[in-house]
């Protein structure tokens, strides 16, 4: 396999990039913009070597504690539980939510062999026990896995009856991922979140 084939094959690991798109990208960089490709490779190399998960919320960052968890001006009484780091970016763009986040490392899925020990619930339990949280917002994509995960979160929160458990309001279409929604829709869902009944 020559260098062009190797590069084409390596680009296929990107979501939505098939063989033809990968090949087009390779020839685009070779013909038009080698300097930009080298810059991209340098940034990618640095990011993969230096970006880690935040010790508090599991977000991606270059330090032990991410920028959001380090911000003392945010509302410590509200915690939003999301599925992916990209969901944090989507919610932040709505400019409505001012609390903190907790990113699950996965959702419970027995079919995929993902159980309660695999999604970071111990870390969540420690967070709730050590912070002055008054409300936990569930901002997960609606699914069977979400329901199973929600049941486990409710068990964790059972010793804290004064903490309100809510979820995003309707307006987030079933099966939609937060990062694909526009900021206005996300902002409306956060503003009109509803209480989760146990």
Q: Are residues 37 and 86 in the same domain?
A: no
Residue 29 corresponds to which tokens in the numbers above? 């960089």
Burial call 124-162: b when 16+ CB within 10 Å, e when fewer: beebbeeeebebbbbbbbeeebbebbbebbeebbeeeee
- The reported pLDDT for the residue numbered 170 is 58
Determine, yes or no, domain membership for 65: no
**pTM for the full predicted model:** 0.77
Q: Are residues 46 and 98 in the same domain?
A: no
Q: Are 187 and 80 in contact (CB under 8 A)?
A: no
Domain count for the chain, please give it: 2
- The reported pLDDT for the residue numbered 56 is 94
Lowest mean pLDDT segment, chosen from 40-44, 129-133, 180-184: 180-184
Q: 3-class SS at 22?
A: helix
- The reported pLDDT for the residue numbered 175 is 61
Q: 3-class SS at 12?
A: coil
- The reported pLDDT for the residue numbered 171 is 58
Tens digits of residue pLDDT in 126-180: 999 999 999 999 998 878 888 889 988 999 999 999 999 998 765 556 566 777 7
Q: Are residues 101 and 185 in the same domain?
A: yes
Determine, yes or no, domain membership for 39: yes
Residue 102 corresponds to which tokens in the numbers above? 């907790």
**Residue 153, CA atoms < 13 Å, CB-side half-sphere:** 33
Residue 7's CATH number: 1.10.8.420
Determine, yes or no, domain membership for 188: yes
- The reported pLDDT for the residue numbered 107 is 84
Q: Are residues 23 and 94 in the same domain?
A: no
Lowest mean pLDDT segment, chosen from 3-7, 72-76, 81-85, 110-114: 110-114
**Which of the 8 DSSP states describes residue 166?**
E
């Amino acid at each position: 396999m020559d260098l062009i084939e190797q590069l084409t094959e390596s680009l296929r690991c990107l979501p939505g990039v098939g063989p033809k798109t990968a090949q087009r990208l390779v020839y685009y960089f070779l013909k038009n913009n080698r300097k930009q490709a080298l810059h991209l490779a340098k940034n990618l190399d640095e990011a993969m070597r230096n970006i880690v998960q935040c010790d508090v919320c599991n977000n991606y960052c270059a330090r032990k504690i991410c920028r959001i968890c380090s911000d003392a001006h945010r509302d410590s009484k509200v915690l939003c539980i999301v599925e992916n780091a990209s969901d944090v970016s989507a919610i932040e763009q709505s400019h409505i939510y001012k609390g903190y986040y907790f990113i699950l490392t996965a959702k419970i899925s027995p079919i995929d062999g993902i159980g309660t020990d695999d999604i970071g619930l111990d870390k969540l339990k420690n967070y709730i026990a050590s912070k002055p949280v008054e409300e936990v917002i569930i901002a997960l994509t609606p699914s069977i896995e979400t329901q199973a995960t929600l049941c486990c979160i409710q068990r964790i929160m059972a010793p804290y009856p004064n903490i309100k458990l809510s979820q995003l309001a309707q307006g987030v279409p079933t099966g939609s991922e937060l990062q694909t929604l526009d900021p206005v829709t996300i902002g409306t869902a956060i503003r009109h979140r509803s209480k989760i009944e146990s």
